[in-house]
Amino acid sequence: MAETAHYPLLEQYDTPEALRRLPETQLGELASELRAYLIDTVSQTGGHLAAGLGTVELTLALHYVFQTPEDRIVWDVGHQSYPHKIITGRRDRMHTLRQRHGLSGFPKRSESPFDTFGVGHSSTSISAALGMALAAKLQESERKIVAVIGDGAMTAGMAFEALNHAGDLDANLLVILNDNDMSISENVGGMSNYLAKILSGKLYSSVREGSKKVLKRMPSVWELARRAEEHVKGMVVPGTLFEELGFNYIGPIDGHDLPALISTLRNIKSLSGPQFLHVITKKGKGYAPAEDNPCEYHGVSKFDAKTGALSRGKGGTTYTQVFGQWLCDMAERDPRLIAITPAMREGSGMVDFFQRFPTRSFDVGIAEQHAVTLAAGLACEGLKPVVAIYSTFLQRAYDQFIHDVAIQNLPVLYAIDRAGLVGADGATHAGTFDYSFMRCIPNMVIMAPADENECRQMLYTGFLHSGPAAVRYPRGSGPGAAIEQAMERLPVGKADQRRQGHSIALLAFGSMLTPALIAGEQLDATVVNMRFIKPLDIDTIVALARDHSLLITIEENSVLGGAGSAVNEVLVGIENAPAIINLGLPDRFIDHGVHEQLLAECGLDAKGIVAAAHQYIAARTAPILARSINS
């Protein structure tokens, strides 16, 4: 850290074992130190801030009451888990957060035994925790299982599938809803906390269960009692839905009131069966800039901890911004355009569109499957839906991608952001498989722009296409190409040769054109911007095969089954085909780090391309040299 601050309690009590020795009266002071330390460290590394600021007290209460790591805590998504990392023995490594070989920005099983389940995508916690609860039951273990899920993650169907199953199984599972979408209103004051204590207490629980056994013998009386209980609880808590799913609903309680949290969690710990605790927190709690603008401080770059001033990137126009501007421009020209996003308005550059075209914009929440099938339904009625979605989030809607759109050959345009490696977010968010999982699907047109202007023209081309089309672009800025406001429909399946060379041909897909052009100068190689992954420009590939002795394909996608594999399939049918090298991402998950550094490690920078060519040439000439020496 740039400035050495002193955190006397946190420096002594930064593991759960030590934390549980701290008098409860001092937990508030520790919470203040933990919040200040979180702000200091994230200001110097960047990362997710606002959600973690809202879970400081909840984190302390959970580790104070439960015997972690023997008791399992499963954090959903991971945005809210930084306080958990700090308090589980990783305080002195927080300065490495999201850096190469440093701490991950998300819970990661290989990083700590306290990270019980690796996450990054939303709405997996309840399913995973239920699996752990069932395992504990089968193993006759007394360990407790807790899932902590945010209110945003509750918009996904997977969360309700898990809730429904858990209630049916009568599993010993505590689900905590961290509700930070609303402010703490009057009903979440002392009376509500008092009711939560009552509803989680042994007396209420024993009376409730005992009365069930007696009253169930008298059906009419039992039904009256059941409805009366629901009515009374429904007046003070919004828990009817969760009760119907088989959970005992408790709350809502103030998630920043440590005594109330600890008392309630202690009561719940002794209960059996599915329990649901509703906790109200404030996103950005304790840091005014984040409280005032929790969306902007959700994920931040480095910032001034004292003033809250965020550092701005020095790059030019991002691909996300190109998409956002094109979307508005196209909507003005064509009233059929409808935009859909699964909870990524800001991340996908759609804020302006939502403001300008409110009746033609739909944020469906964290529901990727629904987003794709919703688009299919709109397309059936003659509209032109555009689904803005991250590459890794599209993975979650793969069946809908095939079954609901591709089979019916519907004109849905996918604007696929965060394709390729994504730097500090790491493997859970890296879009490294979309070439592979899309190109095997009939009816698809798949494009990858090499620069900002080409991205705009490809979006236009895909929008005009009569079937499903995808434009796949990376995070951040491109090479800085001038963006033409006029829109040109590109010839589908046609590549663009950028340099004429000899012997070696570099076939670059999308973002890999920039390093390929640099390498092409050093190798005196032909360089082709392939543009289309599907359909491939077979004529160009055949011509390159005829005039060159070595082809090198370059893609920021898994080398397995990707664009290079598609070129291989073409060469199989060519007599006397040249040698080919496929450069792409290796067959492993790539951890977080600086984007350029990760590409270099994978051999996907200009230096790596040149090295691959030289290595091939050396291997080819070595036997000839050996024969010359021996003769």
Contact, 426 vs 591, CB < 8 A? yes
Sign of CA dihedral 266, 267, 272, 274: negative
Measured in degrees and rounded to the nearest 5, phi and psi for residue 609 equal -65, -45
Is 368 annotated in the active site? yes
Contact, 16 vs 90, CB < 8 A? no
Measured in degrees and rounded to the nearest 5, phi and psi for residue 74 equal -110, 115
Select which of 33, 243, 368, 556 is catalytic: 368
C-alpha to C-alpha distance for 308 and 290, rounded to whole angstroms = 8
**How open is the CA angle 147-153-157, to the nearest 5 degrees?**
100
Contact, 159 vs 123, CB < 8 A? yes
For residue 354, give the amino acid letter.
F
* DSSP structure string for 223-239: HHHHHHHHHHHHHH---
| Alpha-carbon distances, residue 578 vs 15, 504, 611 (angstroms) | 60, 10, 19
Helical ranges in 282-416 per DSSP H: 288-292, 319-333, 351-356, 368-380, 391-394, 398-400
90 half-sphere exposure, CB direction, 13 A CA radius: 25
Sign of CA dihedral 343, 346, 350, 353: positive
Select which of 91, 144, 282, 396 is catalytic: 396
DSSP state of 358: G
Sign of CA dihedral 348, 351, 355, 358: positive
Q: Partners of 581 in the beta sheet?
A: 552
| Alpha-carbon distances, residue 320 vs 215, 471, 474 (angstroms) | 60, 12, 9
Q: In a 3-state reduction of DSSP, which class is residue 447? A: strand
Is 396 annotated in the active site? yes
C-alpha to C-alpha distance for 356 and 331, rounded to whole angstroms = 10
| Residue 340 burial (10 A CB sphere; 0-12, 13-18, 19+) | buried
Select which of 72, 108, 233, 283 is catalytic: 283
State the catalytic residues. 283, 368, 396
